[in-house]
Amino acid sequence: GQQVMQIPQYQHVQEGEDFTTYCNSSTTLSNIQWYKQRPGGHPVFLIQLVKSGEVKKQKRLTFQFGEAKKNSSLHITATQTTDVGTYFCAGVGSQGNLIFGKGTKLSVKP
Amino acid sequence: DGGITQSPKYLFRKEGQNVTLSCEQNLNHDAMYWYRQDPGQGLRLIYYSQIVNDFQKGDIAEGYSVSREKKESFPLTVTSAQKNPTAFYLCASSIYLMDQPQHFGDGTRLSIL
């Protein structure tokens, strides 16, 4: 079945270092969404990318959608302790449902 | 404030018992969803509903049932047929289509006694 693979599963960084998580799909996606889940919390929608090659920025976060619309990435510049959490990508499947990746758990050492 | 309310926050189930998790939204969203989250796993779709009185099975519907009698409410019943029910259950909603951004409730953590 359709899958959305996300790597790495875990990432430990020193505060101030950069962080990137990657998302890959076996099929072309109509759009991709990114969510953040803080420890003990629920996923919160961050952004949606729709166009091929699209790049969007939110302060220190940069989101990219690949040219073939099969991959995406989230890059955080100069991580802070407030960035701690699990970041999920989610692509729209053939039935129109969202398929979530397993997430990348980010920990930041002060 | 608009949002999604899930209750209870923690729930304990005895063997052979059915339990129902509540999900209410006041966002006027048409679509609602139930996900299951296990440690180290992503969100797996249990059931979804795009309109009142209609719902569809997701990837892991076995052992679960839902109803959608009102637009605002989408309760999930974890039946005794679900052999491994211990998990974090998340309810979500979106405006209409499934590819729209989803808003999540705070979740219900279900454990087996």
The strand pair at A104-109 and A10-14 is best described as parallel
Short-list A71, A70, A65, CA closest to A49: A65
Q: Nearest-CA neighbor of B33 among B86, B3, B77, B75?
A: B75
CB contact under 8 A, B42 and A100: yes
* Distance between A13 CA and the closest CA of chain B, angstroms: 19
> B95, B91, B94, B93: which is closest to B105 by C-alpha?
B91
Q: Is B68 left (phi over 0), alpha (psi -120 to 50) or beta?
A: beta
Percent of chain B surpassing pLDDT 70: 98
Residue A98: which pLDDT band, with cuts at 50, 70 and 90?
confident
**What percentage of chain B exceeds 90 in pLDDT?**
78
d(CA A44, CA A86): 10
Contacts of A101 in chain B (CB under 8 A): 42
* Maximum mean pLDDT: which of A77-86, A87-96, B7-16: A77-86
Q: Is the peptide bond before B8 cis (omega within 30 degrees of 0)?
A: yes
List residues of B whose CB lies inside 8 A of any A CB.
35, 40-45, 48, 58, 90, 92, 97-99, 101-107
pLDDT at B41: 80
| Mean pLDDT value of segment A38-47 | 95
Residues in chain B: 113
A contacts of B89 (beta carbons < 8 Å): none
- Those residues of chain A whose CB sits closer than 8 Å to some CB in chain B are 6, 9, 30-31, 33, 41-45, 48, 88, 90, 92, 96-98, 100-103
* CB–CB contacts below 8 A, A to B: 47
Asked if residue B1 has pLDDT above 70, the reply is no
**CB count in 10 Å sphere of residue B62:** 11
Identify the pLDDT of residue B11.
Answer: 93
- Tokens found for residue B86: 């211990």
Residue B40 to chain A, least CA–CA distance (Å): 7
